[in-house]
Structure formats: structure tokens, C-alpha cells
Amino acid sequence: MTKRHCSLVAPISGQIVSLEGVPDPVFAEKMTGDGLAITAESEEVLAPCDGVISLFFDFKHAFAITTPEGIQILVHIGLDTVVMEGMGITALCKSGERVKAGTPVLHLDIDLLRRRKINLISPLLIVNYDKVEDMRLPKKKRVKAGDTVLEYAV
């Protein structure tokens, strides 16, 4: 069977942080998946890949997209955004909606989140990473929303 090469685009612009550098053990110890994190600097949060929004957390701080290959990608905005109870985050899509990589999914009120001292380190994870091979993380330190940030094979 031939491997299919896939990539994820950055859902937001900002500084890339390794998962080990995320000050939350759930992410740092890869309990919810493998990937990277980006310190959010942009207001628009994009779909990192083509697929269906398979999960939208109640407070809109995180969503998952399931790719056509069955890979589940999780985008989690900030580390403690759940305390905002959805304030400062506007959903532009809904659960069950089919999206393309680069589709705007959320709009952030970055100024409000910063004023509330929300840690904007935002993990981008492959939840079922046991199903992927050859995952390659970027060498660059900063990324612009929509740029390729992670490549893998299924």
C-alpha cells in the first residue's frame, strides 16, 4: 500500500513552541496527541487541514477536524481559555461542517484574552498519532497562519 503524504497548515500566526515547552503536562507529556504549539498572535483561527469538524468544545476554545484518512487533528486555543467560558472567542463554523485547509473557524478577541492574562500558547495536535508515520515538525521558529507547519504520512 502506498503512503499518502499529508500536511497541516498553521491555524494561527505566532511563535512556534515545542510540546515539551508547553507549561501544561497534558500537552507537554503528549497525553492528548503529538504535534507542536504556537503562541497565538492573530485573530483568525484557520482549519489546519481538509476534513469535517468532528468536535467543538462548549466554550469554543478547542475543536477537532477528522481528515478523510481518519486522522483527528485538535486545535486548542490557549492553555486556560476555558475560564473565559467562550468570551472572546467567536465560532465561524459548527460541528459537522466540512472545511478546507485555511478556512476560518474561529475569531479571537486577542486584546481581551491578553487583558485577562490568558496564556495564548495554542497546541496543534494529531490525536491518533499512532496512525501516522514520518511526522516532520518545522525548523522555523515563527509561522504565519496558512503556512505549512507539520508533515506526516498515513
Give the pLDDT confidence of 140-153 residue by residue, as tens digits: 899 999 999 999 99
Asked if 85 and 113 count as a contact pair (C-beta separation under 8 A), the reply is no
The residues annotated with a catalytic role in the active site are 76
Residue 1 vs residues 4, 154: alpha-carbon distances, Å: 9, 10
- In this predicted model, what pLDDT tens digit does every residue of 73-107 receive, in sequence order? 999 999 999 999 999 999 999 999 999 999 999 99
Q: How far apart are CA 141 and CA 154, in angstroms?
A: 26
Residue 47 has what DSSP assignment?
-
H-only helix segments in the chain: 25-28, 110-115
Q: How far apart are CA 33 and CA 66, in angstroms?
A: 14
The answer to pTM > 0.85 is yes
